């Protein structure tokens, strides 16, 4: 049943029909009609951020922690350009977002009008799809399509650009329909022959490993359940990318820890030496593979991915399976159970023995100190003191992010929000705000660096406005630690502009925003301070003063293979400085 | 997949084993909506793929369908990626690699301006006949030839005309369709 209404009303109507409860936005001339509609209703709650970049990351944190589509609303021109980083971030990490942008009236488009920019042109390469709506009668259909595209298949961000005259114009509203999309029909059910071949190969493996990624999380909680079942049934070891943490419980004995550039020794060596690799919703990113021609050189590979372009992109696989992770794992489990394969128990026993040998290296160990707080220790304590709570962790980007991934352990999916693909400093605070909004009763902590936190610090004000008690735990080393580490590795320790000369007083900064500020620089007082942070009702900035020059290990230097890791304990400064060869230097 | 294969070497092709670059004609059926060509071209430039030839026109007006014909170059792995990346674009109905399927029927049209007097002019006209090029504009000092055919034929014609007073060339780019009774 078509109903007549204005374009601006349609936006609100479509949001309600899509079940949207919260949107993150910032007003401006080109979206005023939509803001006027927002004012006159109370179903959709609008969260006013302090910069559009914050809206996009908040929507990401909301989406990733809840499994829903995140929604942002921004004005034309600078509103839209400020959204670009968040859109790119969501594209890289496959986060479903719908971003509605205002546009100058259609008759002004192309005239360099005030606050005009070519939003669809600028966002074309950083969205899954985008639309400029020129006719109000297309608006409702496009909005519903936008939600479908954002979440179908490999999720991602979409932009709907709505000129102001279209917001005022009257037209026919249509509700969401169940009619199949004309062109976009991603395959979700796997090919059964491939599933059987994969199970056969897995059953014959002597040195198997599961390598899982963000695709498991995106597929939904059921995918994580099925993954656990399959991994336990096979008894095989499992590792995961940064984006996939939590899909498999880190407390389980089959868990090897994260793999990749800052992954554990056992995870990377198991990848290097395996004979059968089962990649599940993971895309063989360069942070994972290290040197490509030495990546798991003696393995046959199975790859499950919903996006055919992720298969054989960086690494050739032997059994590609295009499909949704949950559907595929369900089929694999069924086939595995019905075959009840005879496994090579002896081989698996010696594989686990080999893995235990690698584990014994204790690659995450570090030299603790009684005088200064080691950053690793700070995360260990944070984990120990929060693990029994219902908590969600976001991060910024840098060493603290990697330490968080190494030392904070996740037993559940959707609990860990980090900018993996794009590596966006400034992600963590707005993402925490989004996550807190989706989980008002939970403990939400942004593990931050002193440099990153300043990139979106203005969102502290948003947290206060909406009573969101997020905690920002800053590992304050006064450096852009990760940059400093790379300068030490690659550039003769010439620390060009990686030291922040004049950091703010974070305690006063917190107070200025109406937060609680805390500081700790004594390992002996750390536990009490963390407890105090947790007990504090409102938002807290915790300025944790840590050792300034700690490096993040283990590390696979750029251009090196998995079995050429640098381990923390026994590397000298000289080894660190000579770790990367000439070809490695040009890599990022 | 041959499951009898022993668990040995990976299929991974390292930098040591360089694949040869091949040329492929892709036929891409798309919804003719605003920006669709920009999406396709942006994909190619953004991911560093080559475009040797590109043509696009609406081919089914009622359904608003356009056919984009792209001639591209790359290793077989890159071509495979290009196909998958194209298929990921929302307004794309299907992508076919006509070369790989061995069904590519390719034609191009070119307008070629040649100027000259005397012997060269007569020679140009003689060669044009051999190539079945039509004269579509002329004066005592020039011809404009219209020639259609496979791109290789057009190349050859241009090559010869270079010696006979070639002034300029305009080519449509390649239109391609699959051979046989079924639609491509
Ligand atoms: C927006 C943005 N700009 C620059 C970078 C490059 N970069 C990566 S890590 C880093 C330093 C981060 O420093 P800090 O937040 O203090 O964290 P630490 O590494 O010290 O833990 C920089 C500048 C980035 N990832 N994102």
pLDDT, tens digit, 9 for 90 and up, residues A423-432: 999 999 999 9
> Residue A20's domain spans which residues?
3-173
Interface membership of A194 toward B (CB under 8 Å):
yes
> What residue owns the CA closest to ligand 1's atom 11?
A480
Same domain, B71 and B142: no
Helix (H) or strand (E) holding A81: helix A78-82
Rounded CA gap, B184 and B181, in Å? 9
The pLDDT of residue A178 is above 80: no
A496 DSSP 8-state letter: T
pLDDT, residue A585, reads 74
Could you tell me which residues are beta bridge partners of residue A516? Answer: A540
Same domain, B32 and B48: yes
Q: What is the pLDDT of residue B6?
A: 37
Whether residue B71 sits in one domain with residue B37: yes
- Is A155 within 8 Å of A96 (Cβ atoms)? yes
B162 and B135 within one domain: yes
Residue A214 shares a structural domain with residue A305: yes
Task: Give the separation between CA B168 and CA B163, rounded to whole angstroms.
Answer: 13
Average pLDDT for A98-108: 98
CATH of residue B154's domain is 3.30.70.1150
Q: Which two tokens stand for residue A513?
A: 């925003």
User: Tens of pLDDT along A472-526?
Assistant: 999 999 999 999 999 999 899 999 999 998 999 999 999 999 999 999 999 999 9
Whole-angstrom Cα distance, residue A225 to residue A558?
34
Residue B3 has pLDDT above 80, yes or no: no
- SS3 at position A37: helix
Residue A345 and residue A486 share a domain: no
Higher pLDDT, A558 or A92: A92
Its domain, for residue B145, covers 105-176
Residues A202, A207, A210, CA angle at the centre, nearest 5°? 60
As a whole number of angstroms, the longest Cα–Cα distance in chain A is: 74
pLDDT tens sequence across A108-166: 999 999 999 999 999 999 999 999 999 999 999 999 999 999 999 999 999 999 999 99
> Cα–Cα distance between B30 and B54 in angstroms, integer?
14
pLDDT in tens, A240-270: 999 999 999 999 999 999 999 999 999 999 9
Same domain, A58 and A149: yes
Mind giving me the DSSP string for A321-389?
EES-HHHHHHHHHHHHHHH-----HHHHHHHHHHHHHHHTT-TT-----SSSB-HHHHHHHHHHHHTTS
| Atom 3 (ligand 1) nearest CA | A425
The band of A570, judged by pLDDT with boundaries at 50, 70 and 90, is low
User: Do both A158 and A274 map to the same domain?
Assistant: no
In a domain, B183, yes or no: no
Quote the pLDDT of residue A1.
59
Residues A93 and A215 in one domain: no
Q: What are phi and psi of A160, to 5 degrees?
A: -115, 115
Q: What phi, psi does A519 have (nearest 5°)?
A: -140, 145
Give yes or no: residues A506 and A379 share one domain: yes
Domain assignment present for residue A118? The answer is: yes
B81: chain A residues, CB-CB within 8 Å: 309, 312-313
Whether residue A521 sits in one domain with residue A395: yes
DSSP A102-144: EE--GGGTTS--TT---HHHHHGGGSSEEEE--SHHHHHHHHH
Contact residues, chain B, for A132 at CB < 8 Å: 34-35
Instruction: Annotate A422-464 with DSSP letters as a single string.
Output: S--TT-HHHHHHHHHHHSTTSEEEEEEETTGGGGSGGGHHHHH
Residue B153 neighbours by CB distance under 10 Å: 17
Decide if pLDDT at A529 tops 80.
yes
Distance from the A307 Cα atom to the nearest Cα atom in chain B, whole angstroms: 8
Q: How far apart are CA A574 and CA B17, in angstroms?
A: 35
Which residues 6+ apart lie within 8 Å of B17 measured at CB?
Answer: none
At residue B80, does pLDDT exceed 90?
yes
Closest residue by CA, ligand 1 atom 2: A425
Q: Does B161 map to a domain? A: yes
Does B123 share its domain with B163? Answer: yes
CB A331 near ligand 1, within 6 Å: no
Q: What is the CATH number of the domain that holds A389?
A: 3.40.50.970
Q: Are B86 and B128 within one domain?
A: no
Nearest-Cα distance to chain B for A315, in Å, is: 6
Average pLDDT for residues A431-459, to the nearest whole number?
Answer: 98
CB A347 within 8 A of CB A236: no
Residue A32 included in any domain: yes
Q: Which pLDDT score, from 0 to 100, does residue B11 have?
A: 41
Q: B97 and B154: one domain?
A: no
B167 with B112, same domain?
Answer: yes
Catalytic residue among A332, A482, A533, A565: A482
Q: How far is CA A52 from the centre of its chain?
A: 19
Chain A residues in contact with B85 by the CB 8 A cut-off are: 309
Residue A349 shares a structural domain with residue A221: yes
- B117 with B132, same domain? yes
Domain annotation covers residue B26: yes
**Per-residue pLDDT averaged across A535-553, rounded?**
97
Q: Does residue A280 sit in helix, strand or coil? A: strand
A37 is catalytic: no
Tokens encoding A489: 């590795």
Position A571 scores a pLDDT of: 72
A556 belongs to a structural domain:
no
Residues A162 and A205 placed together within one structural domain of the fold: no
B99-122 pLDDT, tens digit each: 999 989 999 999 999 999 999 999
User: Does the pLDDT of residue B15 top 70, yes or no?
Assistant: no
In a domain? residue A452: yes
pLDDT reported for residue A331: 98
Dist. CA A152–CA A425, nearest whole Å: 28
> Does A132 contact B77 at a Cβ distance shorter than 8 Å?
no
- Residue B12, pLDDT > 80, answer no
Q: Between chains, do B35 and A120 touch, taking CB under 8 Å as contact?
A: yes
Mean pLDDT of chain B: 90
A52 is catalytic: yes
Could you report the per-residue pLDDT of A200-228, keeping only the tens digit for each? 999 999 999 999 999 999 999 999 999 99
DSSP secondary structure, B52-92, as one string: SEEEEEEEETTTTEEEEEEEEEE-HHHHHHHHHHHHHSTTE
Residues B31 and B90 occupy one common structural domain = yes
Cis peptide before A554 (omega within 30 of 0): yes
3-state DSSP assignment of residue A155: coil
- Strand A319-322 to B92-97 pairing: unpaired
**DSSP code for A540:** E
Q: How many domains does chain B have?
A: 2
Selected residues 85-114 of chain B with any CB under 8 Å from a CB in chain A: 85, 87-93
Kindly tell me the burial class for residue A494, based on how many C-beta atoms sit within 10 Å of its own C-beta (0-12, 13-18, 19 or more): exposed
pLDDT of residue B17: 60
Which residue's C-alpha comes closest to atom 5 of ligand 1?
Answer: A425
One domain, residues B160 and B110: yes
Out of A9, A13, A37, A52, the active site residue is A52
Q: Using CA atoms, how far apart are residues A95 and A93, in angstroms rounded to an integer?
A: 6
In a domain, A232, yes or no: yes
Q: What is the pLDDT of residue A411?
A: 98
pLDDT digits 0-9 by tens, A285-331: 999 998 888 899 999 999 999 999 999 999 999 999 999 999 999 99
Question: Looking at B46, B79, B102, which one is the last position of a domain?
Answer: B102
Instruction: Specify the pLDDT at position A581.
Output: 75
How many contacts (CB atoms, under 8 Å) link A and B? 83
Q: Of A59-73, A172-186, B146-160, which gets the smallest average pLDDT?
A: A172-186
Has residue A534 been placed in a domain?
A: yes
Any domain includes A558 = no
pLDDT tens column, A37-87: 999 999 999 999 999 999 999 999 999 999 999 999 999 999 999 999 999
Residues A210 and A309 in one domain: yes
- pLDDT per residue over A372-411, tens digit each? 999 999 999 999 999 999 999 999 999 999 999 999 999 9
Phi, psi (degrees; rounded to nearest 5) at B166:
-60, 130
- Does A546 contact ligand 1 (Cβ within 6 A)? no
DSSP codes joined into one string, chain B: --TTS-S-------TTSPPPPEEEEEEEEEE--TTHHHHHHHHHHHTT---SEEEEEEEETTTTEEEEEEEEEE-HHHHHHHHHHHHHSTTEEEEEETTTTT-EEEEEEEEEEEE--THHHHHHHHHHHHTTPEEEEE-SSEEEEEEEE-HHHHHHHHHHHHTTTEEEEEE---EEEESSSS--
pLDDT value for B10: 39
C-alpha A67/C-alpha A73 separation (Å) is 19
pLDDT tens digits along B38-77:
999 999 999 999 999 999 999 999 999 999 999 999 999 9
State pLDDT tens for residues A335-360: 999 999 999 999 999 999 999 999 99
Flag whether B81 is in a domain: yes
- Closest-CA residue to A469 (of A510, A415, A505): A510
CB-nearest to B42 from A124, A128, A312 is: A124
What is the structure's pLDDT at A179?
Answer: 76
């Amino acid at each position: 049943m078509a109903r007549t209404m204005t374009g601006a009303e349609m936006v609100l109507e479509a949001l309600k029909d899509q079940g949207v409860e919260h949107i993150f936005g910032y007003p401006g001339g080109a979206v005023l009609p939509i803001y006027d509609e927002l004012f006159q209703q109370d179903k959709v709650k609008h969260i006013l951020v302090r910069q559009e970049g914050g809206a996009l990351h908040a929507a990401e944190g909301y989406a990733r922690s809840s499994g829903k589509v995140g929604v942002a609303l921004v004005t034309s021109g600078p509103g839209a350009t400020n959204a670009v980083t968040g859109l790119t971030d969501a594209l890289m990490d496959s986060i479903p977002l719908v971003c509605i942008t205002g546009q100058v009236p259609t008759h002004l488009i192309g005239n360099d009008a005030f606050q005009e920019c070519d939003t669809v042109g600028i966002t074309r390469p950083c969205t899954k799809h985008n639309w400029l709506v020129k006719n109000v009668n297309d608006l409702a259909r496009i909005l519903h399509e936008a939600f479908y595209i954002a979440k179908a298949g490999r999720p991602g961000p979409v932009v709907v650009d709505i000129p102001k005259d279209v917001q005022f114009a009257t037209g026919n509203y249509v509700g969401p329909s169940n009619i199949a999309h004309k062109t976009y029909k991603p395959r979700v059910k796997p090919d059964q022959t491939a599933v059987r071949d994969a199970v056969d190969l897995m059953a014959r493996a002597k040195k198997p490993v599961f390598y899982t990624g963000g695709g498991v999380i995106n597929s939904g909680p059921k995918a994580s359940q099925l993954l656990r079942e399959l991994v336990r049934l096979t008894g095989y070891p499992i590792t995961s990318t940064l984006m996939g943490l939590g899909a498999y419980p880190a407390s389980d004995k089959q868990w090897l820890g994260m793999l990749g550039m800052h992954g554990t020794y056992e995870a990377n060596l198991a990848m290097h030496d395996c004979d059968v690799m089962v990649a599940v919703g993971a895309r063989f990113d360069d942070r994972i593979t290290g040197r490509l021609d030495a990546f798991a050189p003696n393995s046959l590979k199975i790859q499950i991915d919903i996006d055919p372009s992720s298969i054989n992109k960086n690494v050739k696989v032997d059994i590609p399976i295009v499909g949704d992770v949950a559907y595929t794992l369900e089929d694999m489990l069924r086939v595995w159970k019905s075959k009840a394969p005879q496994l090579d128990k002896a081989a698996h026993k010696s594989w686990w023995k080999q893995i235990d040998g690698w584990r014994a290296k204790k690659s995450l160990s570090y030299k603790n100190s009684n005088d200064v707080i080691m950053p690793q220790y700070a995360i260990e304590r944070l984990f120990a003191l929060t693990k029994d709570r219902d908590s969600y962790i976001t991060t910024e980007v840098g060493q603290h992010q990697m330490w968080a991934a190494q030392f904070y352990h996740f037993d559940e999916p959707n609990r860990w929000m980090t900018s993996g693909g794009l590596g966006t400093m400034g992600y963590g605070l707005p993402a925490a705000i989004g996550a807190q909004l989706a989980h008002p009763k939970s403990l939400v902590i942004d593990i931050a660096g002193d440099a990153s936190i300043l990139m979106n610090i203005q969102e502290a004000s948003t947290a206060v406005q909406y009573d969101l008690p997020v905690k920002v735990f800053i590992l304050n080393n006064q450096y852009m630690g990760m940059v400093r580490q790379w300068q030490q590795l690659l550039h003769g320790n010439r620390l060009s502009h990686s030291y922040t000369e004049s950091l703010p007083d974070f305690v006063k900064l917190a107070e200025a925003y109406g937060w609680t500020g805390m500081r700790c620089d004594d390992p002996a007082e750390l536990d009490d301070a963390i407890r105090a942070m947790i007990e504090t009702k409102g938002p807290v900035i915790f300025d944790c003063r840590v050792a300034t020059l700690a490096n993040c290990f283990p590390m696979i230097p750029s251009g090196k293979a998995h079995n050429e890791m640098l381990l923390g304990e026994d590397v000298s400064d000289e080894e660190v400085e000579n770790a990367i060869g000439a070809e490695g230097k040009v890599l990022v | 997949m041959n499951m009898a294969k022993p668990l040995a070497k990976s299929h991974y092709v390292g930098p040591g084993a360089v694949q040869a670059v091949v040329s492929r004609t892709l036929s891409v059926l798309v919804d003719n909506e605003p920006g669709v060509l920009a999406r396709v071209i942006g994909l190619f430039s953004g991911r560093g793929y080559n475009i040797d030839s590109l043509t696009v026109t609406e081919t089914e007006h009622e359904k608003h369908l356009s056919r984009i014909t792209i001639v591209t170059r790359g290793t077989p792995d890159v071509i495979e990626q290009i196909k998958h990346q194209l298929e990921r674009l929302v307004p794309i109905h299907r992508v076919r690699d006509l070369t790989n399927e061995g069904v590519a029927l390719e034609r191009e049209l070119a307008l070629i301006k040649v100027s000259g007097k005397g012997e060269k002019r007569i020679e140009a006209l003689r060669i044009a006949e051999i190539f079945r090029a039509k004269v579509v504009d002329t004066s005592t000092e020039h011809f404009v030839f219209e020639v259609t055919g496979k791109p290789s034929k057009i190349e050859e014609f241009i090559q010869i005309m270079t010696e006979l007073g070639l002034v300029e060339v305009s080519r449509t780019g390649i239109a391609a369709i699959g051979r046989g009774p079924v639609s491509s």
